[in-house]
Amino acid sequence: MKTNRWLVAAVVILGIALAAQSAYLFKIKNANADKKESSYPAASGAAHWGAAQPQQSARRAAPIAASTHAGHWHDPFSHSVLDSWDPFEEMDQIQNMMNRMFRDSLNRGPRGVGFTQQSTFYEPDLDVEETADAYIVRLDLPGVDKEKINVKIQNNILTIFGERKSEKEETDQKSGFYRMESSFGSFMRSFPLPVDADSNSMHAESKNGVLTVRFSKIKNAASTAKSIPVQ
């Protein structure tokens, strides 16, 4: 399900990028057409059916004019435009942006696990909310015992991990599964804490299959900033 969501997001982003590029090219084309007409009043004035011949000759003359007037109007495929805007470069940028998005999406699972690779951990859904004086983190962990949930802070990174043991696996060897939609095994989520989160005030509680972790905010986090004189 999660992979699907990312794929849909990726497709939507690419679609928007494509539309934006098309719109931009179309705009440039129109702008060129306008400028062309104003630069060659004779050609536009002769643009009626009875005078096809002079119009054609004007068209044939246009490429030559383009090289001499390159500074005044832009052909989307001429070098002057490609110097400042490269559609392939823009595609590259989008690609990089998306790679970053997949990589940094809340540090899902161990490093290097992309959406094409299967993680050995399953990743419960997570919410983070900020109030005036606290942060609240919530995770869906239905059917996981309190004793099997670990919450840890190390180097200011909050990690919630544990194991959801499937009792069925051991006790009911003979039994057949009709449906298996739940995730089980090891789970892990981790992410860096905000600067003003007070890790000493952490309070974790599991209720109705939802783990809630609360932190207070450090009131004057900004004032702890030190300025260092340059010598």
Partner 1 sequence: MLTQNPESPVLFPPVDIFETEHEVVLEAEMAGVPKEGAQLAIEGDELTITGNTAESDLPKEYTPLYAERRPRQYRRVFVLGAEVQKDKIRAHYENGLLRINLPKAEKPQPKKIAIE
Site for partner 1, rule CB under 8 A: 106, 125-132, 135-136, 138, 140-145, 168, 172, 174-182, 206, 208-210, 212
Give 90 or 163: the residue with its C-beta nearer to partner 1: 163
CB of 175 vs partner 1, minimal distance in Å: 5
Give 83 or 181: the residue with its C-beta nearer to partner 1: 181
> What phi and psi values does residue 75 have, to the nearest 5 degrees?
-90, 130
- Tell me the C-alpha distance between 26 and 76, whole Å: 9
CB of 143 vs partner 1, minimal distance in Å: 4
Read off the DSSP letter of residue 49. Answer: G
- Tell me the C-alpha distance between 117 and 29, whole Å: 43
Give 88 or 178: the residue with its C-beta nearer to partner 1: 178
Give 60 or 179: the residue with its C-beta nearer to partner 1: 179
Closest CA to 198 of 220, 224, 216, 225: 216
Give 73 or 206: the residue with its C-beta nearer to partner 1: 206
- Tell me the C-alpha distance between 50 and 68, whole Å: 30
- Tell me the C-alpha distance between 118 and 147, whole Å: 27
CB of 17 vs partner 1, minimal distance in Å: 25
- Tell me the C-alpha distance between 87 and 93, whole Å: 10
Give 89 or 127: the residue with its C-beta nearer to partner 1: 127
Contact yes or no for 30/73 (Cβ under 8 A): no
- Tell me the C-alpha distance between 160 and 213, whole Å: 10
- Beta-carbon neighbour count of residue 161 at 10 Å? 15
CB of 225 vs partner 1, minimal distance in Å: 22
CB of 95 vs partner 1, minimal distance in Å: 24
> What phi and psi values does residue 152 have, to the nearest 5 degrees?
-140, 145
CB of 11 vs partner 1, minimal distance in Å: 20
